[in-house]
A and B are shown apart, each in its own frame.
Chain A
Amino acid sequence: MSPEVAGQIELFLQVVIAGILIGGLYSVIGLGMSLIMGVMRIINLAHGDLMMVAMYITYFAFTLLRIDPYVSLLIVIPAMFVLGALIQRYLINAVMYVDSILPQNQVLLTVGIGMVLSNLALVAFSANYRSVPVSYAGKTLYWDIAIGGETISLSFNVPLLVAFAIAIALTMGLFVLLMRTDVGRMIRATAQDRDAAALMGVNTRRITIITFGLGSALVGAAGALLVPIYYLFPSIGGPFTSKAFIITVLGGLGNTAGAILGGLVLGVAESLGSAYISLGYKDAFGFVMFVLVLIFLPKGLLGKSKV
């Protein structure tokens, strides 16, 4: 095999690996939004800004208390659950049960919450870019494979691998919660038919609070996992909200299993697109897919819509 062909194989495999690894993280970001969508039928447009809050918690846990970003998941997840639950309890629920001119005013409310969060962060933490200088940020594992007399070398970034593993663990945890526990059954029941669930004695108002808390905790976890890889600033949320939105649509609005697939598909598509077409259009690939899926697969990649 010629070095050129080996180079092309290496390029393709490395690009797919990069896409899958980042896709794992996208999945967790999308999962939270999808869960909220499934239960409440609203798109949470403050999703990325909640992630930003979690990133600042992780950052300050590291700089002030010397807590490793991965350990700080133990702080971030409960803290974000509480923040999300409070937002649902005191802000969104207050609007949800009120008749108004706009049926979707909860969505507008989430836009407002997002703006308030990012501007508060701007005032409190300034616009400076920050990063957490962990020693393992650039740690990489190499895998050399010999094919046809040529060696191709694949690299795996350790923080991304760890993030991927934790993402899988979180996803499995969420599924156990949804499938095996009473709370999970109540969440699924509320998602299927809120009125019927209420008639069966489910406190749907409480379930919405728990669901928003879970969604926030998930995106918070994704934020903490992103900190060693990326950097943070107050307006980081916007692009991630739109990624989460694309994933939610790809997965079939409100389908949590679909959200995982959606995240991986988005990661790989962005990755392939920026390697073989152009990095300048990276964000465009997601939106093109988004439109195509809406037109041809309106119920998402898995073809059904449920939690």
Chain B
Amino acid sequence: MATSGMIRTGWMVGLALALAVPAHAQFKVGIPLPLTGAEAKFGEMEKQAYELAVEEINAKGGVKGQKLVLDIQDSGGRPEVATSIVEKFLTTNNYPIVIGEYTSQCSYAVAAVAERYKRPYLVVTGAADKITQQGWKYVYRLNPPSSLYNEGIWSFFTAVAKPSSLAILYENTDFGTSTSQAMKSWAEANGVAVKAYEGYQAGAVDFKPTLQKIKSLRPDVIYMVSYLMDASLLMRQARELDINPRLFVGGAAGFTLPEFLQNAADASEFAMSGTLWTPQVKYPGAKAFFDRFKQKFGKEPDYHAAEAYAAAYVLADTLKRARSWSPEDIRDALSKTDMMTAFGPVKFVAWDKFTNQNRMPTLVLQVIRKQFETVWPKEGASAPYVFPVPRWRDRK
């Protein structure tokens, strides 16, 4: 097995080298993405965003006269598959840089491989803090780490909501736990009582017993971290039980997707959530990206798509500045990145335990009249926030 694999690998490297000479006019980018499996929905959206960005870049003449070509492979959202895809990218294909993946788990696995092969890897959506806390020299991250997803919410809490108590309900996954843990520490540091701190297993049918318990504790604000479908069920059932805190806040993910508006319908009204990006942000090109994406693919892009779109531009910018297209030179250029994208400012810095980590302001959005509106920070707001939110029975 091993021998035949090596022979095949060697043969393919040879073939790749032979082909590389005439195919001089293109630069291939390896991207692992979940195109099947539970995260397929997000993988598909990111793939489209990469394609849109590369199309635009190539239409303007590509990079140093060469066209960017995407090599997107399906990881199924499984770390072991993502790992083997990237090993192939770095050995057989001999790509000098890898970008992408969706989940934290997969991004973390890919990062370890890239570091081992000493090839730069740009993380685009994986949010777990640990990915950029390993002191790795070849791993860069475009999106903020999950513990900072709440920054916008905190600033809103401090300036406006001033909650006296919180109830925290979270999905007990990597992302859910680390995001709500960060919220709990913030509350404790700021003298906000945490009346409930409940983890749940994704996919529960009935949240009513727990929600009823939260209702009986009368928290000032309810904070929830959930993926897609749970977010809708939570809001629907909170309305059924007539739970009336002054505010419902979600920790990004499930609370920021267009499906949330459809599935939760009226129950989503006035739900607030932290997010990284909205179509209303004032970054140059954001609105144009949103419109072009919607027109081309017939659906609205969310922040994941914006991240992917921006990543392609960061790559193009890096390649333009790199002295040569060797992994080392590309890495040097990536380190010096300081640019504005449709997703926001990108600059890789180090602080606390983080290295090569982009730091950018996070936003707060709120569902107002069945639309996501950016409500915080005030400078970039598209609509004034609604706080405190009306009681369920007083609506309509």
Contact = CB atoms under 8 A, between A and B. Distances in A.
Contacts of B210: 274-275, 279
A11 interface: yes
A18 B206 contact: yes
B168 to A, nearest CB: 12
A138 B236 contact: yes
Nearest to B41: A128
A138 B267 contact: yes
Given A137-B265, A275-B209, A282 B241 contact: no
A267 to B, nearest CB: 9
Contacts of A155: 240-242
Interface stretch (B32-40, B146-154, B314-322, B371-379): B32-40
B175 to A, nearest CB: 16
Given A8-B216, A126-B40, A133-B265, A18 B209 contact: yes
Interface in A152-210: 153, 155, 157
B134 interface: no
B81 interface: no
Contacts of A129: 228-229, 259
Contacts of B208: 14-15, 18, 271
Nearest to B203: A239
A131 B233 CA distance: 11
B213 interface: yes
A160 to B, nearest CB: 9
A68 interface: no
Contact of B213 (A131, A137, A153, A275): A275
A7 B216 contact: yes
A90 interface: no
Contact of A231 (B38, B199, B216, B229): B229
Contact of B201 (A8, A229, A280): A280
A140 interface: yes
B379 to A, nearest CB: 35
A280 B198 contact: yes
Contacts of A138: 236, 239-240, 265-267
Contacts of A278: 198-199
Contact of B200 (A231, A275, A282): A282
A155 B215 CA distance: 13
Interface in B223-279: 228-229, 232-233, 236-237, 239-242, 259, 262-263, 265-267
A127 B205 contact: no
Interface string A224-238: 001001110100000
Nearest to B37: A127
A97 interface: no
A283 B201 contact: yes
Contacts of A126: 36, 40
B155 interface: no
Contact of B212 (A14, A131, A140): A14
A92 interface: no
A279 B210 CA distance: 7
Contacts of B265: 133, 137-138
A142 B206 contact: no
B204 interface: yes
B172 interface: yes
Contacts of A229: 205
B235 to A, nearest CB: 9
B207 interface: yes
Given A18-B208, A128-B41, A280 B172 contact: yes
Given A22-B206, A127-B36, A131-B229, A231 B263 contact: yes
A279 B239 contact: no
B200 A14 contact: no
B364 to A, nearest CB: 25
A30 to B, nearest CB: 15
B206 A271 contact: yes
A272 interface: yes
B209 A19 contact: yes
Contacts of B266: 138
B198 A279 contact: yes
A157 B238 CA distance: 11
Interface of B: 36-38, 40-41, 172, 198-201, 203-210, 212-213, 215-216, 218, 228-229, 232-233, 236-237, 239-242, 259, 262-263, 265-267
> What are the 8 A-B residue pairs with the smallest beta carbon separation, nearest first?
A275-B209, A18-B208, A279-B200, A7-B216, A140-B240, A279-B210, A11-B216, A274-B209
5 contacts: A14-B209, A18-B209, A18-B212, A138-B240, A153-B242
Given A226-B205, A271-B209, 19 more contacts: A7-B216, A15-B213, A19-B209, A22-B205, A127-B38, A131-B263, A133-B262, A133-B265, A138-B236, A140-B239, A233-B38, A270-B206, A274-B210, A275-B210, A276-B213, A278-B198, A279-B200, A279-B204, A282-B201
